[in-house]
Amino acid sequence: MKRRSFLAGTFIAALPTANFGQSLIPISDAHNHLGLLRRNTDSVPILGQLMKDSGVSLLSWAVVPDGPFLGVVSGGLGQVRTSNKGDLRASFDRQLGAALQALSVNGVKVVKRVEDLQQAAAGTPYVCLTSEGADFLEGSLDSLGKVYDDGIRHVQLVHYIKNAVGDLQTERPEHGGLTSFGKELVGILNQQGILVDLAHSTSESIDHALVVSKAPMIWSHSYITDALSIWTASGYRSRALGLKDAKRIADSGGAVGLWSLGPSFGGGIDGYAAEIVRMINLIGADHVMFGSDQDGLPQGAVINQLSDLRRVVEALGRKGVDEKVIRAVAFENYARCLKTAMQGRRV
C-alpha cells in the first residue's frame, strides 16, 4: 500500500456540499490531553462547547498511565519512580474513570462505532479515548477485551517508562525493538479494532510493528527530521521521527501527526502551518495530520486551546493550500486511520 493511495473522501459525504469554507472544515487532533493532566481542568466541564466553537469534532483524548511515575530528568522527561505490580493498571483505571465521568456531563460523545466518525465529520463533538502507552497491561493481554468495552479505540505502544512492550526513544534500547509480547500485542490490537500508535517507539520497534500489523498505524505526535534520532540526543530532539521511518509509516497507509512544540519548527501558528506544508511535501497530503499534544508539552507549545487549531486551518488557507488538502490534514487522515483500524475488528 503506497503513499497517497488512501484518499479519505468517504468522510466528506457526511458534510454539507454547498459553498465549503474554511470555517466549515472539521478538525481532528490525533493527540490531546486537554484537562486530563492537572492543567486546564476547568475546560473539562465545557469541552463539548469548546469543541463546537472551534470546529474540533474528533479529539484523541489521551490518558497517561505512567504519568505518576514521571518527572524531569537530565535532558527531559523520564521515569523517576518505580512502579509495583498493579500500579500502572490502577493509574489507567483511575484516569479513564475520571475521563468517562467528565464525558457523562459535558456533551461530548465517545467514538465506539465506525458510524460515529461520520457524525464527527458532520460536526458532532466526539472523543476517541486513547491510552498513551500500553504499559498498563503489565505484560498481559487478558484485560484488552474490557479495555475495548470501556471505549478505548487508540493505544500508543510505549511512552516514557520501561515496559514489557518494547524500546522507547528516550532510553537505552534493551530489546532490539518490540518484545515478543509487543509483537503479539500489535496483532491483538488489530483484531480488537484498536488503532496502533507508534509514537515514542524506536526505529527497530517500527520495523517490527510494520511486519506484524494488518492495518495502517500512526505516529500521533512529534516532528519529522532528516537526522537520525538517538536516545542520547538532548531535549526534544530525542523525540524526533526520522524521515525514513515517516515514509515507511506513510507507505503502509498510516499518518504522522505534528505536535505543537514551537522550537522544533520555529514557533508560532504560522510556523506550525509552514511545518505542515513541509511534511506534506515529504510524505504526501494523505499522511499528515494534527497531533498537537495540547497540555502535554513544556513551555514552547503554540497550540494551547482548541481554537488554535482553527487558526492553523486558516493559516493553511492563507498559504494557498488547496481546500481538499486542508480537509485531509485537518480531519480526514486521522479519521481514516481510525476507521480502518476499527473495521479490522475480528473478535
CATH number for 178:
3.20.20.140
Q: Give the pLDDT score at 307.
A: 97
pLDDT tens-digit series, residues 186-231: 999 999 999 999 999 999 999 999 999 999 999 999 999 998 778 8
Q: Give the pLDDT score at 298.
A: 79
* Total count of domains within the chain: 1
* Residue 256 forms part of a structural domain: yes
Gap between the terminal Cα atoms of the chain: 25
Range of the domain at 83: 9-343
Q: Give the pLDDT score at 165.
A: 98
Residues in the chain: 347
Q: Give the pLDDT score at 202.
A: 97
* Position 3 pLDDT exceeds 80: no
* Residue 112 forms part of a structural domain: yes
Q: Which residues contact 115 (CB under 8 A, 6 or more apart)?
A: none
* Position 56 pLDDT exceeds 90: yes
* Residue 243 forms part of a structural domain: yes
Residue 315 pLDDT grade (very low, low, confident, very high; cuts 50, 70, 90): very high
128-148: average pLDDT: 97
* Position 155 pLDDT exceeds 70: yes
User: The dihedral of CA 334, 335, 337, 342: what is its sign?
Assistant: positive
* Residue 80 forms part of a structural domain: yes
**Average per-residue pLDDT in the chain?**
93
* Residue 2 forms part of a structural domain: no
* Position 18 pLDDT exceeds 50: no
pLDDT tens-digit series, residues 233-257: 888 999 999 999 999 999 999 999 9
Cell numbers at 19, concatenated = 459553498
* Residue 4 forms part of a structural domain: no
pTM of the model: 0.93
Instruction: Find out whether 14 and 57 touch, Cβ atoms under 8 Å.
Output: no
Q: Give the pLDDT score at 283.
A: 98
* Residue 1 forms part of a structural domain: no
| Percentage, residues of the chain above pLDDT 70 | 93
* Residue 164 forms part of a structural domain: yes
Q: Which residues contact 320 (CB under 8 A, 6 or more apart)?
A: none
Q: Tell me how far apart the alpha carbons of residues 137 and 192 are, in angstroms, rounded to a whole number.
A: 15
Q: Tell me how far apart the alpha carbons of residues 178 and 190 are, in angstroms, rounded to a whole number.
A: 16
